[in-house]
């Protein structure tokens, strides 16, 4: 069996780094992409590539490079995230250029990644998975987090749509959302390894979960009511 390739977009020191390490230990070839990656392969199963998620064309080039080097990825993790926190009463007090840049990272580049992943998945046999690091923004408005929530809510919509369109082709699309034990949003203190463990379970089909995967660190998947809990 050919070695599977996972492409991780947005390799920061927490969720991204944990995801890279977890999939590597599980036998995957891992491509990590971020603005700070050095562009050099460290070995036959690890490759680091530069990719600026604020520039959606950069995502197109990233997929092109991965295909040329290792073929089509069977797992794609979109972990891009940008936000401009404000006081709740100043939620719309955001410079236009900041809104546009963060929309590119949270939404437009995510769209490009989903489109390119769907193209890759159509050329592969067996199971394929795309995972989007989400928030509970699609459940309702959260004052003070406008740019993050607009982008993540749009991403959740695309994941829901893709799951319906491609599931019969053995391709799954998931929005993974960490919550507190009470179901409240986790905008800070996110568990990197907890996310990575959920990502691997989804990619390996160890669990059959819906497109929106809400989980609590240490417990795994927990289904919460579809309403905003603040």
Provide the percentage of residues in the chain whose pLDDT is more than 90: 81
- Which tens digits make up the pLDDT trace of 84-99? 999 999 999 999 999 9
- What beta strand segments (E) does the chain contain? 5-9, 29-34, 41-43, 46-50, 75-78, 128-133, 171-178, 212-216, 220-221
Q: 128 an active-site residue?
A: no
Question: Which pLDDT value is given to residue 87?
Answer: 96
- Which tens digits make up the pLDDT trace of 143-187? 999 999 999 999 999 999 999 999 999 999 999 999 999 988 887
Q: What is the mean pLDDT of the chain?
A: 92
pLDDT tier for residue 230 given thresholds of 50, 70 and 90? low
Report the C-alpha gap between 128 and 204 in whole angstroms.
Answer: 9
Question: Which pLDDT value is given to residue 13?
Answer: 86
Domains observed in the chain: 5-221 (3.40.50.720)
Tell me the three state secondary structure of residue 76: strand
- Which tens digits make up the pLDDT trace of 48-58? 999 999 999 99
From the candidates 152, 184, 206, 219, give the one annotated as an active-site residue: 152
């Amino acid at each position: 069996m050919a070695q599977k390739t996972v492409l991780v977009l947005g390799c920061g020191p927490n969720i991204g780094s944990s995801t890279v390490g977890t999939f590597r230990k599980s036998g995957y070839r891992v491509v990590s992409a971020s603005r700070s990656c050095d562009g050099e392969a460290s070995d036959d199963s690890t490759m680091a590539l530069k990719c600026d998620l604020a520039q959606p064309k950069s995502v197109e080039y990233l997929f092109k490079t991965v295909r040329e080097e290792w073929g089509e990825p069977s797992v794609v993790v979109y972990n891009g995230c940008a936000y401009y926190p404000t006081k709740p009463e100043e939620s719309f007090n955001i410079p236009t250029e900041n809104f546009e840049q963060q929309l590119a990272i949270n939404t437009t580049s995510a769209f490009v990644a989903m489109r390119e992943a769907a193209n890759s998945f159509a050329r592969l046999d067996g199971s394929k998975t795309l995972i989007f690091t989400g928030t509970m923004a699609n459940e309702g408005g959260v004052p003070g987090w406008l740019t993050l929530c607009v982008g993540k809510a749009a991403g959740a919509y695309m994941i829901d749509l893709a799951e319906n369109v491609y599931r019969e082709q053995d391709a799954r699309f998931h929005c993974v959302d960490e919550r507190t034990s009470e179901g409240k949003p986790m905008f800070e203190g996110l568990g990197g390894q907890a996310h990575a463990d959920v990502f691997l379970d989804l990619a390996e089909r160890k669990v059959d979960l819906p497109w929106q995967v809400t989980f609590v660190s240490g417990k795994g998947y927990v289904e919460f009511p579809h309403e905003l809990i603040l």
